[in-house]
Amino acid sequence: MSLLVVGSIAFDTIHTPHGSAQRVLGGSASYFSVVASHFTQPRLVGVVGHDFPQANIELFQDRGVDVRGLARVQGETFFWEGEYHRDMNTRTTKAINLGVFEHFQPVLPGEFKDSKLVFLANSAPETQSKVLDQVDRPELVVADTMDFWINHQREALARLLPRLDGLMLNDSEAMLLTGETNLVRAGHAVRKMGPKFVILKKGEHGAMLFSDEGVFVVPAFPTEAVVDPTGAGDSFAGGIMASLAADPERKSGRLRRAMAYGTVVASLTVEGFGLDRLRKTTRTEIDHRLEQYRQMMAF
């Protein structure tokens, strides 16, 4: 099934205790698309500036990403610079330049309007809603959000939530949104705000799914080779949505299997700077790690 992602494309400068990377390709839609390209041919909608090299566009194309929704406009590409602390779980933003992303109003090419699976990467809830208006008859719509929108555009977010099948957000954001201090209660409370299912991301501690099948918990795949955590959440989303797109049967437990795929690809992402590790991996390696992951939890 066709899979659409609308999100950011950025240059990231990343500092970690183990090394640095300068102006590498990043952004939610980049991570999502490269992950998804291992499962399907995702449709990408995003914006870049005049400084965005053709080589990066070819990188997407070579992986089968449909870039007809990629706008290249006058101005600078979104730039982010961040530094990870010693524990690799927290980070400080050192510089940010939204560039052409700041006033980006995504326009879907006509060929993308029939997309069946839609992922609205983190952006203003109103922008996410306007994207949704452009899709004819989506079968599964999932959005990501963050604390900034919960704090500053709560009403727009509240209007978006009932239009979603799924919402993904961090554990702390779910507590912020609902006022609950227990994660299980927070997850249930977010569902009551509209989305049919909710995925709480807990970083290195895994994730939780709340749906009409109950609560499902997944630990992170334990990797000791954490090089750069950037993009883990978007990779997780990409693995979920793309494995669903590649497995369209509406069976029970489908979302749970998708989350396992998301977990495994996220663990690959963090093993390299930027998109390095994701570009090197193969579907065979992903499936092999999925099997390891399954065995790791069996009892």
Cα distance between residue 183 and residue 164, in whole Å:
21
CB 11 within 8 Å of CB 77? yes
Question: Taking the complex as a whole, how short is the minimal distance between the CB of residue 175 and its own copies, in angstroms?
Answer: 8
Dihedral class, residue 139 (left if φ above 0, else alpha if ψ from -120 to 50, else beta):
alpha
Q: CB-wise, 83 or 216, nearer to its own copies?
A: 216
Site for its own copies in 5-34 (CB under 8 A): 17
Instruction: Please pick, from the candidates 73, 88, 156, 193, the single residue that binds its own copies as defined by CB under 8 A.
Output: 88
Q: Using CB under 8 A, which residues numbered 226 to 255 contact its own copies?
A: 226, 253
Q: CA-CA distances (angstroms) from residue 5 to 86, 108, 137, 202, 223?
A: 32, 10, 15, 22, 27
Question: Pairing between strand 214-218 and 207-211?
Answer: antiparallel
Considering only 256, 271, 276, 279, the residue that binds its own copies (CB under 8 A) is: 256
91 binds its own copies (CB under 8 A): no
Q: Where are the beta strands (DSSP E) in the chain?
A: 3-6, 10-16, 19-26, 43-48, 66-72, 78-84, 91-97, 117-120, 140-144, 166-170, 197-201, 207-211, 214-218
Give the whole-angstrom CA distance, residue 131 versus residue 108: 8
Question: Of the two residues 15 and 257, which places its CB atom closer to its own copies in the complex?
Answer: 257
Rule CB under 8 A: choose which of 146, 223, 271, 276 binds its own copies.
Answer: 223
Strand-pairing partners, residue 207, are 201, 218
Here the tokens at position 28 are 């939610």
By CB under 8 A, tell whether 204 contacts its own copies: yes
Q: Is 95 in the site for its own copies (CB under 8 A)?
A: no
Site residues for its own copies, 28-87, by CB under 8 A, read: 86-87
Closest to 48 (Cα-Cα) out of 64, 24, 27 = 27
Candidates 188, 247, 271, 279: give the one binding its own copies (CB under 8 A): 188
**Stretch of 127-135, 184-192, 233-241, 279-287 lying at the interface with its own copies (CB under 8 A):** 184-192
Q: How near is the Cβ of 262 to its own copies at its closest, in Å?
A: 11
Footprint on this chain of its own copies (rule: CB under 8 A): 17, 86-88, 181-185, 188, 202, 204-206, 208, 214-224, 226, 253, 256-257, 259-260, 294, 296-299
